[in-house]
Amino acid sequence: MKIISEQKRSLVYFNEKEDTFIKIFKPKFLNRLKYFFRFRKYPGDNFFFISKELKKLEINTVEIISHSHYKIVTKNIHGTPLHIYLEKNRDNNEIIKKYIFLVTKLLKNDIYSGDLSFDNFFVKNDEIIVIDLEDYRKVKFFKRDKKEAIRRLYGKINNEIIKKIEDNLKNLS
Ligand SMILES: Nc1ncnc2c1ncn2[C@@H]1O[C@H](COP(=O)(O)OP(=O)(O)O)[C@@H](O)[C@H]1O
Ligand SMILES: [Mg+2]
C-alpha cells in the first residue's frame, strides 16, 4: 500500500493489489462527539450519502466499494485529475463548460462543498467525475451559503469560470 495523500485529518492509501483507494478519517475529538450525538454525519457515512445524492442528480462520482464511520474504499477511477487534464488540454472549452454546468447543478440543488477546486474532480472519457465527498453537505441553505461556496473558489480557479457560475445561478433565481 502506498500513501497518496496525508492531511492533518485524513489519509489516503492506494492498494495496488485491489486497485482501490482507501481513505481514513482522523477527526478531532470535538467532531467525534458531534458524530456520536448525531449532530453531524460521520465522514464515511456522509461520503456514502452524498454519493447517492449525486447519483440521483446524474452526476458521476467515484464508485464506493465499502464504507464505515471513519473509512471509505473506492474503485480506482483510472482517469486524470481535472487540473492536470486542463494543463495538457489548455483550450478544452468542452470540459470547462462541463465543470461550470456541474458546479451550477450542485449549488442549484443545495449541495455545498467548501472545496470545489480542480483537484477534486477527475476526467475520464470526456466526463467529469467527482471525488472527495466527505465534507459536502446537503442543506436547504440561504443564499449567502451559495455565495460562500463561490467565494471560496476565488484564487483556486480562473475568475472567468467563477463569473460564469455566478451568472448561471443568477439566471435561475
Ligand atoms: N477512487 C479514486 N481513483 C483515483 N484516484 C483517487 C481516488 N480516490 C482518491 N484518489 C487520489 O487521491 C487523492 C486524494 O484523495 P482525496 O479524497 O481528494 O483526499 P484529500 O482529502 O487528501 O484531498 C486524489 O486527489 C486522487 O489523486
Ligand atoms: Mg482532495
Please, which pLDDT band fits residue 173 given cuts at 50, 70 and 90? low
Strand blocks (E) in 32-162: 64-68, 71-75, 80-81, 111-112, 121-124, 127-130, 137-138
At the topology level, CATH places domain 2-75 in Phosphorylase Kinase; domain 1 (3.30.200)
Please, which pLDDT band fits residue 170 given cuts at 50, 70 and 90? confident
Among protein residues, the one with the nearest Cα to ligand 1's atom 27 is 81
pLDDT tens across 74-119, in order?
Answer: 999 999 999 999 999 887 789 999 999 999 999 999 998 988 999 9
Q: What is the pLDDT at residue 6? A: 97
| pLDDT score of 142 more than 80 | no
Cβ-based neighbour number of residue 129 at 10 Å: 19
Greater model confidence, 155 or 140: 155
Q: What is the pLDDT at residue 145? A: 76
Q: What is the pLDDT at residue 164? A: 94
| pLDDT score of 141 more than 70 | no
Cell 477534486 locates to 120
Average per-residue pLDDT in the chain?
93
Measured torsion, CA atoms of residues 133, 27, 5, 51, in degrees rounded to the nearest 10: -10
Atom of ligand 1 lying closest to residue 63 CA? 1
Q: Which ligand is nearest to the CA of 23?
A: 1
Tell me how far the alpha carbon of residue 132 lies from the centroid of ligand 2, in angstroms: 5
Q: Which of 88, 99, 98 is nearest to 157 (CA)?
A: 99
- Ligand 1: residues with CB < 6 A are 4-5, 7, 10, 12, 21, 23, 62, 74-77, 81, 119-120, 131-132
| pLDDT score of 46 more than 90 | yes
Looking at the DSSP assignment, which residues form a beta bridge with residue 20?
15, 75
Share of the chain above pLDDT 70, in %: 97
Q: Which of 114, 133, 123, 138 is nearest to 12 (CA)?
A: 133
What is the residue extent of each domain of the chain?
Answer: 2-75, 80-172
CB 13 within 8 A of CB 1: yes
**What 3-state DSSP class applies to 163?**
helix
| Residue whose CB lies within 8 A of the most ligand 1 atoms, among 54, 131, 133, 134, for a mutation test | 131
Atom of ligand 1 lying closest to residue 6 CA? 22
May I ask the CATH class of domain 80-172?
mainly alpha
